[in-house]
Amino acid sequence: MEKAVHETGYQFPNQTKFYRGKVRDVYTINDQLIMVASDRISAFDHILPRPIPYKGQVLNQVATHFLNATKDICPNWLVATPDPNVAIGIACEPFRIEMVIRGYLTGHSWRVYRSGGRELCGVVLPEGMKEHDKFPAPIITPATKAEEGHDEDISKEDIIAQGIVSGEDYAILEKYTQALFERGTEMAAERGLILVDTKYEFGKKDGVIYLIDEIHTPDSSRYFYLDGYEERQANGVGQKQLSKEFVREWLMANGFQGLEGQMMPTMPDDFVRLVSDRYIELYETVTGQKFQKIETADIAARIEENVLNYLNS
């Protein structure tokens, strides 16, 4: 089994803050953020016990690919990628919401619909839909960004009423979200994929709104294979997905959905390898590029050396 980086604990020169997210370890140096994409994997808002080899490299490189491809739509935070697992960029004040956008009745939206719900985050859902059907137009279903525990659905109206985001800023977030999803959908189609749903995070610095964090990665997005989608829908067959939904399905099959009192199962070696292979498959399918496995003998030392070389330059 290849080595994986579960967490880091660097002390970089002039470092002022450190934050550990579900997947990334984030270091602040003056007005720069150093985001280290670990190999941790989360599901149902819980971090699983075992890291996945190459997952951090996949996430970082997929995010870089799409951030570079969407610079014309809105400003983004990325400045440099000195290591396959590292992104360095502008430190912004984040908005405390995630802009979730859905093109299809899948995942969380389907679970709400199946239980009888016909409204999600203030958006009315059409009657007569079945799982994985396409919405007449993509819907934005924001979620609060929780420091711990589950993110919560919230409507546009409540976001503005509670002062989480101003009406003026929200209009910009909405515009960027729709344009980014449209671009992501076009790029996915070119690769024989359907971008089903995704989420974007934004921040603000000196009055400018930036796209921050990752975009269109398997941790933030769900993809279907385009070929055979219509036939599978017509026959009531499950869609072929390229996402980490299969990890959630494995957890559910092993009695875990993130609910209180449930014991999280530990993935066996063969399933860890399968998850790693699926992430690499996603990278190659989404980007059209061959994945180059980076040396994993001492990932932590390699990352530190590359970041220090960047900072010193």
Using the Cα atoms of residue 87, residue 93, residue 97 and residue 103 in order, give the sign of their dihedral: negative
Domain hosting residue 278, numbered range: 15-93+271-312
Domain boundary among 224, 242, 260: 242
Same domain, 69 and 108: no
Q: How many angstroms separate the CA atoms of 41 and 245, rounded?
A: 12
CATH number reported for the structural domain that contains residue 103 in this entry: 3.30.470.20
Q: Do 116 and 231 have their domain in common?
A: yes
Instruction: Write b or e for each residue in 146-176: b if 16 or more Cβ atoms lie within 10 A of its Cβ, otherwise e.
Output: eeeeeeebbbbeebbeeebbeeebbeebeeb
Mark whether 227 and 99 lie in a shared domain. Answer: yes
Residues 206 and 290 in one domain: no
What is the reported pLDDT for 146? 67
Outline where DSSP puts E strands in the chain: 15-20, 24-29, 32-37, 42-43, 46-47, 78-83, 86-90, 93-94, 97-104, 119-120, 123-124, 134-140, 143-144, 193-205, 208-212, 221-225, 241-242
Task: Indicate whether 122 belongs to any domain.
Answer: yes
| Predicted confidence pLDDT, tens digits, the chain (313 residues) | 789 999 999 999 999 999 999 899 999 999 999 999 999 999 988 999 999 999 999 999 999 999 999 999 999 999 999 999 999 999 999 999 999 999 999 999 999 999 999 999 999 999 999 999 999 999 999 999 866 556 799 999 999 999 999 999 999 999 999 999 999 999 999 999 999 999 999 999 999 999 999 999 888 899 999 999 999 999 999 999 887 878 989 999 999 999 999 999 999 999 999 999 989 988 999 999 999 998 888 999 999 999 999 999 9
pTM of the predicted model as reported, rounded to 2 decimal places? 0.90
264 belongs to a structural domain: no
Q: Are 144 and 213 members of one domain?
A: yes
Residue 108 resides in a domain: yes
Residue 248 placed within a domain: no
Domain boundary among 227, 242, 257: 242
Structural domain contains residue 9: no
Examine the domain organization and report whether 184 and 298 are in the same domain.
no
Domain count for the chain? 2
Backbone angles phi, psi at 88, to 5 degrees: -120, 135
* Residue 285 within a domain: yes
- Dmax over CA atoms of the chain, in Å, equals 60
Bridge partners of 195, per DSSP, are 223
Among the listed residues 17, 97, 22, the one whose alpha carbon sits nearest the alpha carbon of residue 56:
22
Neighbouring C-beta atoms of residue 237, cutoff 10 Å? 11
Closest CA to 33 of 17, 21, 45: 17
Instruction: Name beta bridge partners: 226.
Output: none
Q: Are residues 51 and 71 in the same domain?
A: yes
